[in-house]
Homo-oligomer: A and B are copies of this chain.
Amino acid sequence: MSLLTVGSVAFDALETPFGKTDKIIGGAATYITLSASYFTNENNLVAVVGDDFPQDMIDILKGRGVDTTGLEIRQGEKTFFWSGKYHNDMNTRDTIDVQLNVMENFDPVIPESYGNCEFLMLGNTAPAIQKKVIERLPNRPKLIMLDTMNFWMNIAWDDLMEVIKLVDVLTVNDEEARQLSGEYSLVKAAARITSMGPKTVIIKKGEHGALLFHGGHIFFAPALPLEEVFDPTGAGDTFAGGFIGYLASTGDLSFSNMKRGIIYGSAMASFCVEKFGAERLFNLTTDEINERVAKFVQLSAFEIQ
C-alpha cells in the first residue's frame, strides 16, 4: 500500500569522534523514505528545499524509488541546515548551527498524483504543519503515524495536542514520553499518551531498544549491541521509516505484525549508525536486511521449559 512521508529534507554537517562531514543529505523525511524504500515501492514524499539543494542528492532519493513530485524546490531560498557535534559517548550532542531557511514557512502541498495514500508518516516538524497535512488529504489514511520532539512540547504545546488526537501511532523517545505525559514510569506515560489520542505508542530508547504499547499489550524490542556506533544521526527516523514501510508493505495492522515492524525498523536503524548520515541506507540488499533481522531473533529468543 502507498506511503506518504512529510517532513524535512535538509543539509546536515556532522562531527563525531570518528570524523566530520561537509554538508550531506539529511532531514527526517530523507531517513524515513530511504528506510521505507526497502519495504514499499509506493513511497511518496512531500518536503521543501532551496535552490541550493543539488540534483545529485535528489537523485539519491529517486534512485531508491522515492516519488519526489511533492519535493518543492523554492527559488531564491536556502535549504534547512543543521550542524551538530557528538560527544565521545555518542549519546549526547551539541547543536552547532541551525538555519531554518525554507522550513520557516513550509506549506505542504500534496500532489494530486499521490492519490489516496493509505499510510501517512508525519516526520518531526511543527505540529501546526503536521495538522495541515492531515486536513489537506482528500481521505483519512488507514494509519497516521507522528514523530515529534521536546522542542515542540516547549513552544507549541496546544498545537501538538491538536494534532496528536488525530493520529494512530505516536513515536517519541523516553525523555520526550516523560515530558509529554508528566509520568516517569514509561508504562504510565504510554497510558497517558494513549488518552491523548494515539492507540499505539512507540517509545524509542536508542541503544536500549524500543517499547511498543498497543491495545493493552507491551512489546520490548532490543537494540542490536554494536561494536561501534559511527554516527547516530537519523537512527530514530530510520527506525520509524522501517516500521511504517513494513506495515505499508503488508497492510496488516495487527499487534503481531506491528512487532515485526518494530524489529524491521530496529534492523534498519542498526545499519544507519554504521556510517555518516544516511549513507548506509543508499544501497542495502535484501540479504543484508534478512541477516540483520536474524540477528535480532538470535538476540532475543529463549525457551522456558
A→B interface (CB under 8 Å): 88-90, 184-188, 205, 208-209, 211, 217-222, 225-229, 256, 259-260, 262-263, 293-294, 297-300, 302-305
Distance (whole angstroms) from the CB of A252 to the closest CB of chain B: 10
Distance (whole angstroms) from the CB of A103 to the closest CB of chain B: 34
Task: Find out whether the CB atom of A263 lies under 8 angstroms from the CB atom of B302.
Answer: yes
Q: Given contacts A218-B225, A222-B222, is CB(A302)–CB(B256) below 8 Å?
A: yes
Q: Given contacts A88-B184, A260-B304, A260-B305, is CB(A299)–CB(B220) below 8 Å?
A: yes
Q: Given contacts A185-B229, A209-B208, is CB(A219)–CB(B260) below 8 Å?
A: no
**Chain B residues, CB < 8 A from A217:** 298
User: How many copies of this kind of chain does the complex include?
Assistant: 2
Task: Find out whether the CB atom of B187 lies under 8 angstroms from the CB atom of A302.
Answer: no
**Chain B residues, CB < 8 A from A256:** 302-303
Task: Find out whether the CB atom of A260 lies under 8 angstroms from the CB atom of B225.
Answer: no
Q: Given contacts A208-B208, A305-B260, is CB(A300)–CB(B220) below 8 Å?
A: yes
CA–CA, A187 and B221, complex, Å:
18
Q: Which residue of B lies closest to A297 (CB)?
A: B304
CA–CA, A259 and B303, complex, Å:
8
- Which of B185, B218, B222, B293 is A304 in contact with, Cβ under 8 Å? B293
**Chain B residues, CB < 8 A from A221:** 302
The 3 closest A-B pairs by CB, nearest first: A220-B222, A208-B208, A259-B302
CA–CA, A299 and B227, complex, Å:
26
- Which of B205, B220, B222, B303 is A260 in contact with, Cβ under 8 Å? B303
Known: A222-B222, A260-B304. 12 other contacts (CB 8 A): A88-B184, A185-B229, A186-B225, A187-B225, A209-B209, A209-B220, A218-B298, A220-B225, A220-B300, A260-B305, A293-B304, A297-B304
Q: Given contacts A299-B218, A302-B263, A304-B260, is CB(A211)–CB(B225) below 8 Å?
A: yes
